[in-house]
Amino acid sequence: MYKYDHIDQTLVDQRVIQFRDQVERRLNGTLAEEEFRPLRLQNGLYHQRHAYMLRVAIPYGLLSAEQLRTLALIADKYDRGYGHFTTRQNIQFNWVELEQTPDILAELAKVEMHAIQTSGNCIRNITSDAFAGVAADEYIDPRPVCELLRQWSTLHPEFAHLPRKFKFAINGAKEDRTVLLCHDVGIELKKNPAINNGELTADIYAGGGMGRTPILGSLIKQGLPWQVLPSYLTALLRVYNRFGRRDNLYKARIKILVKALGPEEFARQVEGEWAQLHNEAKQSKDNFTQAEWERVAKHFTKPAYQKLNTVSNEVILAATPETERAAFARWLDRNVKSHQIPGYASVILSLKPHGTVAPGDATSAQMNAIADLADQYSFGELRVTHEQNLVLADVEQTQLLHLWRAAKNNNLALPNIGLLTDIIACPGGDFCSLANAKSLPIAKAIQERFDDLDYLFDLGDISLNISGCINSCGHHHVGNIGVLGVDKDGEEWYQITLGGEQGNDASIGKVIGPSFYANEIPDVMTSLINTYVEQRTGDEPFIETYRRLGVTPFKEVAYKNNGKHSKGALA
Amino acid sequence: MNQKIIYFPKDGQPTIIANEWQVWDGERDEGGIPDLEHGLHKVLVPFHWWITHYKNADIIERANRGEIGVWFAADDDILKHADLIEEGKKLWPVVGAHFPIFRDGRSFSTATLLRDRFEWQGEVRAIGDVLIDQLLQGARVGFDAFELRPDQNLDVALKQFDLFSVVTQNSWRDQRATTAA
């Protein structure tokens, strides 16, 4: 795990002092709210429906047990005893006081954390694969590049006030677990003997994003040597900073610029700018150096793994008491992932227990318990996933049963990873001032409706994503089933999209028709799922059945059995 | 206009000095450029105005006396006027880059291009909606003079430059710190 050097530590400490001064000027009235707003946003501080919300960065999703304990402490001391893990590897505290935020930042700085650029029109927290460094399908550990780019983007002076927010994702595995194509810039790291002598290179995708106009990113550069990422990304951001639209908030994201110019023309402009940077004598000093790589990469070496043999699930289950075997087997199947190292596995702790308050929420007690589990079973480290769950990445297979029992005691062992109730949802209208509709009661109602684990198991992989507004923090566009809260004449309605997908075959879901009332949504889900069950062949996953049949059969049942528009909200 | 500016030369200390340059928006004074006989003698004219007027004899004369500089609007594409800017190096003691509103960051890129692409050695001044909390970024990308919005407290502004002793990317003023402890 990356350890701050004195440069990183000095920077976050001085950032606390800077923000404390900004808060003081806000409180004594010399800094107007309108002018404070972008400053506080660049420190992750939102003003929400009921209170201030602080978003803390978890760069590329990596946390130490000590950091998690500090997050628990912050939840207890400054908030209401819980935190919310988001889809972009951040954690949010929903009930903080403006006056106390500098103190919270100081607590974070003590454990090498910060809230820098977790919001605002700047380069946001860079996200990556939660299984980086351990995934069996990984070809490059992306974390050294993530960390170098975290440093490069932190308080970057030229890009402090971009037209809109700017999100990077970086992937280095066969399977894309970062939703790469839905980012302003997606960086796919590769090592190909045919390119650059097999050295690490990057393919650059630009102009992806969800929100009002969902678009998948386009490939604009292939085989870029990793050393030149700073100058290439500078060129790309400079083109966006200078020519991205600023007249209309909704058309200011880079995806609109890339779409307006066309990916080829955008790539040409970036190339032109980059060629100039190449020509300038300073280019060589912008490059990342091997020394910097080594300084950073030494923190991402493998932990002290034991020399173990791989154990099959059959053997693990044979050693499990019969009373626990069936439940444990489910958990092994859904929540345990294969590992690069024999005898180890990665474990996903579900933050989506049925009937929970909100997907991705963890209480301070859970955070402390998870920190203990990380210490006991996984070298004191854990990861945050895009799906709002937590991962213990390096667990000895022979310890899985013990870990499962401990996780169960803390309500973290529901075997629903990748299933219908592993819902991605934004905080919605319960908290967020942007939301048009609530998302949490919808998630809860669906979890209550589909509470039978055997049935969920039988359904297999289905992603269900819920957003409370068009900004799509719940990433509904890439859910196999998406639910979007919309406002019509002051009432909350819900629009359904089908066919979205994250991963290598990423696609944007299509709206099936007019929206529904909140209390209709569980029935709509039942209709959609029943249709899938009737129509699927063998073990065909939901998305394949949808792609084979198209929207029509699903649409028909959704409106035949529902859509009566009887008024009513969920409790 | 602000009677005082912050001047922060690349290898010097930030100080508060008297403002010698008035910024003309190109609209007022129907007769053309403001009267430089009375009041301030030096004026920053809009770059788009310069493009259409720089061949006028009186403008050439004043420019030769060092009384005229230009300012770039946030949406001026300075790369499209490289020849004029190269010529301007010999003429303009000061250029400005304008912030129409504090949260519009285009002029950060303009200043970067002036320093890196055009190797501009003279003063680059931030003008317009310039607030205390833009100074650090501005100083790093290439601005060495700041005319703050008149309501800003210059003493508080001056303190901003002492906030950070490390940076993590290269810029006009400093190179990223790379030595690990």
The DSSP 8-state label assigned to residue B161 in this structure reads: G
DSSP structure string for A46-84: EE-SSSEEEEEE-GGGEEEHHHHHHHHHHHHHHSSSEEE
Question: Tokens for A376?
Answer: 């006991």
Q: What does the pLDDT look like over A310-367, one tens digit per residue?
A: 999 999 999 999 999 999 999 999 999 999 999 999 999 999 998 877 899 999 999 9
Q: Which of B125, B179, B170, B82 is nearest to A281 (CA)?
A: B170
Is residue A180 classed as helix, strand or coil in its secondary structure? helix
Q: Using a CB-CB distance cutoff of 8 angstroms, which residues of chain B are in contact with residue A241?
A: 105-106, 108-109
Predicted confidence (pLDDT) per residue in B74-123, tens digit: 999 999 999 999 999 999 999 999 999 999 999 999 999 999 999 999 99
Which amino acid does the sequence have at A178? T
Strands A218-225 and A52-57, how do they pair?
Answer: unpaired
- Least confident range from A205-209, A560-564, B153-157: namely A560-564
Are B77 and A276 a contacting pair at CB < 8 A? Answer: no
DSSP bridge partners of B98: B127
Selection from A190, A156, A158 nearest residue A171 by Cα: A190
Q: What is the ipTM of this complex?
A: 0.96
Q: How far is A216 from chain B (nearest CA, A)?
A: 26
pLDDT above 90 coverage of chain A, percent: 90
Print the SS3 string covering A354-381: CCCCCCCEEEHHHHHHHHHHHHHHCCCE
**Three-state SS at B126:** strand
pLDDT band (50, 70, 90) for residue A568: low
Is the model more confident about A180 or about B33?
Answer: A180
How close does chain A come to B31, measured CA to CA in Å? 32
Residue B44 contacts A where some CB pair is shorter than 8 Å: no
pLDDT digits 0-9 by tens, A498-516: 999 999 999 999 999 999 9
pLDDT-derived band at B181, boundaries 50, 70, 90: very low
Nearest to A355 by CA among A450, A271, A466, A432: A450
Q: Which of residues 59-118 of B touch A (CB under 8 A)?
A: 77, 102-106, 108-109, 112, 116-117
Which tokens sit at A339? Answer: 């590992």
C-alpha B140/C-alpha B133 separation (Å) is 13
pLDDT at A570 over 80: no
pLDDT at A157 over 80: yes
According to DSSP, residue A475 is labeled: -
Q: What is the pLDDT of residues A523-535, one digit of tens each?
A: 999 999 999 999 9
Q: Are the beta carbons of A7 and B164 separated by less than 8 Å?
A: no
Angle among Cα B16, B97, B95 to the nearest 5 degrees reads: 75
CB atoms within 10 A of CB A478: 28
Helix axes A101-110, A65-78, angle to 10 degrees: 160
Give me the amino acid identity at A198: G
| Confidence (pLDDT) at B83 | 96
Residue A190 phi/psi, 5-degree rounding, is -145, 155
- Please say if the pLDDT value at position A47 is more than 50: yes
A169-188 average pLDDT score: 97
Task: Scan for tokens 């502004």, then name that residue.
Answer: B157
Grouping H, G, I as helix, E, B as strand and the rest as coil, residue A108 is helix
Beta strands in A426-533 (DSSP E): 464-467, 481-488, 491-498, 510-511
pLDDT for position A490: 86
Question: Which two tokens mark A40?
Answer: 């506080």
Min Cα–Cα distance to chain B from A401, Å: 42
The pLDDT tens digits for B31-49 are 677 876 666 789 999 999 9
One-letter amino acid for residue A328 of the chain: F
Is residue A442 predicted with pLDDT exceeding 60? Answer: yes
Classify A227 as helix, strand or coil: helix
C-alpha span between A413 and A327 (Å, rounded): 10
Chain A interface test: which of B106, B143, B159 (most A C-beta within 10 Å):
B106
Residues of B within 8 A of A151 (CB-CB) are 168-169, 176
Reading across the β-sheet that carries A218-225, which strands appear in turn? A127-128, A168-171, A185-191, A200-206, A218-225
For residue A343, give the DSSP letter: T
Q: By the 8 A CB rule, do B126 and B160 touch? A: no
pLDDT in tens, A237-288: 999 999 999 999 999 999 999 999 999 999 999 999 999 987 766 557 789 9
Cβ-contact A106, A100 below 8 angstroms: no
Vertex B57: Cα angle to B52 and B60 (nearest 5): 75
In whole angstroms, what is the distance from residue A20 CA to residue A328 CA? 49
Reference A561, options A516, A509, A497; nearest CA is A516
Instruction: Measure the CA–CA gap between B24 and B44, rounded to whole angstroms.
Output: 6
| Chain-chain contact of B171 with A230 (C-beta, under 8 angstroms) | no
Mean pLDDT of A413-423: 97
Rounded Cα distance, A117 and A162, in Å: 12
Residue B57, classed as helix, strand or coil, is: helix
Reply yes or no on whether the pLDDT at A38 is more than 90.
yes
Q: How far apart are CA A221 and CA A284, in angstroms?
A: 20
The pLDDT score that the predictor gives to residue A110 is 98
First to last CA, chain A: 43
